[in-house]
């Protein structure tokens, strides 16, 4: 049965899943950046920059309304800001984990972004108000993937674009080797650095539950997106999903 959303250990429904995700990320916020960079050998920085370059044409427009949802500690936001011209409309950087968001705000607060505490499934934004929505390694943690896509579709303008940067599970010999690292080595390192067991056991489990690219693209099309695509990064360890809200004729 296809995964409908994140399901942390012990969560019984969407409300408890969302609450568990929020508490988990708030708890690891102080060491989140260190863990990310150590566990990815800093390759995550390349993924953020590559994602931002993909949308540089939109970002170059001073009046473009841009949202980085599930922004965490703000690294994707900073990558987007590098493509914004002086005096451009501020980027909205939103997350529902307050401790993560507060750390992100310290990074981007003076660089042209505004922090917004908000749930990705219930955005406090008008219909058709955004030109671009980007999310980096946060979509996988939503309690309902279809609801998230529909909510993003609601707030995008006709012609607005969506970018979802997420982990995936590569195939072949690389996939087998990476699976050993991801499921055994990574949780052990995460436990040593942050002193907790749960969050870095949750990570490989959540990636394993996440839809594979063909399924995810089908879900995007079903929820109303056009020109859907997936670009693998670093042999398919991660990848960028893209889609557009069709223009009304």
Q: Per-residue pLDDT tens for 216-226?
A: 999 999 999 99
Bridge partner list, 165: 136, 240
pLDDT at position 55: 98
Whole-number Å distance between alpha carbons of 240 and 166: 7
- Fold adopted by 14-244: Rossmann fold (3.40.50)
Distance CA 205, CA 227 (A): 30
Q: How far, in Å, CA of 139 to CA of 134, rounded? A: 10
Cα–Cα distance between 44 and 248 in angstroms, integer?
36
Q: Burial code of 70-91, b = ≥16 C-beta within 10 A, e = fewer?
A: bbbbbbbbbbbbebbeeebbeb
pLDDT at 187: 72
What distance lies between CA 179 and its chain's CA centroid? 21
The pLDDT value given to residue 208: 82
Q: What is the pLDDT of residue 237?
A: 87
What is the distance between the alpha carbons of residues 218 and 221, in angstroms, rounded to a whole number? Answer: 5
pTM greater than 0.75 (yes/no): yes
pLDDT beneath 70: ranges in the chain: 1-3, 37-39, 41, 175, 190, 193-200, 249
């Amino acid at each position: 049965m296809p995964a409908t959303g994140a399901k942390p250990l012990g969560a019984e429904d969407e409300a408890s899943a969302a609450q568990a995700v929020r508490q988990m990320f708030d708890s690891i916020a102080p060491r989140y950046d260190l863990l990310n960079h150590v566990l990815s050998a800093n390759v995550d920085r390349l993924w953020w920059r590559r994602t931002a370059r993909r949308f540089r044409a939109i970002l170059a427009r001073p009046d473009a309304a841009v949202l980085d949802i599930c922004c965490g500690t703000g690294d994707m936001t900073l990558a987007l800001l590098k493509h914004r011209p002086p005096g451009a409309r501020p980027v909205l950087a939103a997350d529902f984990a307050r401790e993560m968001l507060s750390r992100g705000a310290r990074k981007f607060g003076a660089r042209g972004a505004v922090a917004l505490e908000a749930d990705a499934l219930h955005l406090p934004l008008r219909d058709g108000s955004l030109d671009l929505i980007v999310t980096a390694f946060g979509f996988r943690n939503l309690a309902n993937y279809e609801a998230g896509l529909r909510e993003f579709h609601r707030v995008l303008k006709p012609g607005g674009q969506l970018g979802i940067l997420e982990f995936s599970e590569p195939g072949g010999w690389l996939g087998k080797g990476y699976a050993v690292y991801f499921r055994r080595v990574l949780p052990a390192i995460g436990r040593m650095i942050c002193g907790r067991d749960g969050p870095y056991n949750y990570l490989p489990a959540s990636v394993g539950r996440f839809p594979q690219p063909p399924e995810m693209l089908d879900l995007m099309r079903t929820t109303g997106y056009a020109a859907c695509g997936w670009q693998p990064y670093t042999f398919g360890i991660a990848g960028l999903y893209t889609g557009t809200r069709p223009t009304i004729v």
